[in-house]
Structure 1
Amino acid sequence: MKQPENNVYTVSRLNGEVRQLLEGQIGKVWLNGEISNFAAPSSGHWYLTLKDTLSQIRCAMFKGRNKTVTFTPKNGQQVIVKAAISVYEPRGDYQLIIESMLPAGDGLLAQQYEALKLKLAAEGLFAANTKRPLPSKINKIGVITSASGAAIRDVLQVLKRRDPSLEIIIYPTQVQGELAAKQICQAINLANSRLEVDVLLLTRGGGSLEDLWCFNDEGLAHTIYNSALPIVSAVGHEVDITISDYVADLRAPTPSAGAELLSKDSQDKQQRLITVQQRLQQSWSHYQLNQQSKLQQFAYGLQKQDPKRRLQQFEQLFDEMQLRLDSALANKLYQAKLRQQQLQSRLERQSPTQVINLEARNVQHLSSRLKQVMKDIMARKQQQFNSQAHQLDTVSPLATLSRGYSISRDQQGHILTQAGQCQSGDIMTTQLAQGEIKSKVL
């Protein structure tokens, strides 16, 4: 087979070009998944796997990014991540470089909010030149909100205090829940068909992202954009910014502030200044949003030449080697500990202490048996001795002497059994049971 002369890749070159292709063509994605194999080495970076029931992908989140995460990730937790697709070149594995992470519930809403905001901005719904100016003289104000909420009470109180001559028409609607967005659209269309007010105030009190979600509806955004009547959006608190705020002709930070913007008093000039400031801030926000979109496009192109990604590759390789080293050391220590336990068990089985203890118990047992045998032998010998002593006592001459008999001996100590054994004048000794008698034969 002939070797090709051109376009021969090295493995490193191939992985590098695949990484640039993935990063440049696909860019950043939102991903929903379950965390597993979470690791946080001493470098401060995070490594994890995101999975669902059918597949999984490795992820890295570097310490500059994970500091913004407000919770501690755990294995088994469902999360939403915004990440860039990349390739870990040392292994040729494709992976995600996570930029932001949210719990699954809030994260999904935030993802949908960001996606819709970018889409509507691209369609021109936020453009400053499409905003309708407020009427120079306002006699009637239409308020679209809940008839029983706190917002309507605040709005009516401010309008009564600042300009009691204003006529207020309330278009009651739900401002939370699945039907709220549709009802708000119907209220706006109703006000536009009647043309009985000079301006509309769309408002409600503060709440969570989920509570205010009806104001992030795409249909509502188009209804606000297409309204012939100018609309002031005063939804939530100052920190709450909804899609309706971006599309409306003017945004007020609170319901009370919205009522102040639409009413005049001795501070009318100051309120106009506030209105101009609000428009300026809104225009600046729209400009920032457009510039952010352009910046993201430039960032995708810059990633191909970004040395930071190469540095992150080396940092990830270092962390991977460190984790493998920690795992190998832990396994080595476990094996050594297991081997020590096995040797300890063998040593205990071969220890002379056990043999000595066993032999000591045997010696103690034999000693006890020996003492018992000796005791039995002594008892038998004592019994035999007593029996023989009794027999001896029955034939002993001492017993005969005790019955009154005596034993006579000549001077040489010979026992005299016949009278003819002694002569006149001989000295003899007679032994009695008690003592002796010496006598002379006559």
Structure 2
Amino acid sequence: MTSKPSKLAAVLPDLSPLRSSRGFRLLWIQGLVTYFASFMAMIALPLQIKDLTGSPLAVGAMGAVELVPLIVFGLYGGALADAVDRRRMILGTEAGLGLLALILLVNAALPEPMLWPLYLVAAGVSACSGLQRPALDSLIARIVPHDQLTAAAALNAIRWQAGAIAGPAVAGVVVAYAGHATAYGLTVVGFAVSVLLCLRLDPAPPAHDARKPSLRGIAEGARYAWSRPVLLGTYAIDLAAMVFAFPNTIFPFLADDLDAEWALGLMYAAGSVGSVLLSLTSGWTSRVRRHGLFVVFGAAGWGLAVAAAGWFSNVWLVLLCLAFAGAGDMLSGLGRSTIWNQTIPESLRGRLAGIEVLSYSVGPQLGQVRAGAMAGWTGTRPAIWSGGVVCVLSVGVLAAVLPKLVTYDAETDEDAVARRHAAAGAGAGA
């Protein structure tokens, strides 16, 4: 009778970071509120552009408007996060996002809503997100014990996936029955609650040797990443996986090919379902030291599952494959997040988080271009399965070229050991 709880506990998510860190608890709850609020606007905004213009091109242009601010402010935000109080950055950008949502609310309440503010707000949201993400990511290693970083990554993933699945569903109902203004109003309320939670965070001042943000500082972070094969491998493998095996943009055409237009929404949701299932059974990941294997096998599993999704003609098998792909992506993400938090020095953490923003934003964008162009040339399903195959091959080549990623061990890696000793020293000093 006593063995069953222990086996169950070994599978369920490790809640240690929520118990041991007040700062992590606040950030986790704040993030949950923010994700629901953000998804409310993320659904309402493109729908409003569609209603105003009736043009797919006008809706797609929102992605182009968002990309450049995300890249520019992501890199600058990384340098800024190493030079100023990260709590102030999070608080300021969260308030900025709330003000942008207020602009959407006012515009939607006009007798004739205008189009140009929607693009302006989309660019502003992208800029604020680019500034905020490095500060948020780099704060985790400071407030969570070193041996709980994998568990923290899994809990953050559960939080994100809860918002990704429930947020759009609720937003769709709100927009359909109550209108865009109501959705934007709920977004404003969500960000107001989030700001109140951020005010309760402890200050997070920069390291004593912090420099003012500059291009030289950004270049210093890039040189550090380039000099560390383990970090370089995490960026390169994630980029390859997204560029070659990110088929979301051609899901409508896949649904047509399978004569299953009814399954389009399920195709978009399947990956998130797989990610959630892995996150909810992630207790075992806290006891693993070889996180580089997470990155490699997770990305290879993602590519293999995407290839299978493009090969099968049964829609239920396709959905199952997409769920497996989401689980593989989540496993790889857990490995990347843990390695970053375990190895990057405190003084460079913000700048490296900025590079990570660049990695995760550019990969899917290029992947959509590749998938669309390939589908026009070879057809939808060949574009999907061939991309998955190339993804697996690319991951194999990168793993062979960067063997330190494969052999990474949290107990023996010199950067991880140095970071663990620094964290222990900081804890003793406190």
TM-score of the aligned structures, taking structure 2 as reference length: 0.23
**Which has the higher relative contact order, 1 or 2, with Cα contacts under 8 A spaced 6 or more apart?**
2
Based on CA coordinates, which of the two structures has the bigger radius of gyration?
Answer: 1
TM-score of the aligned structures, taking structure 1 as reference length: 0.23
- Flag the structure with higher helix content: 2
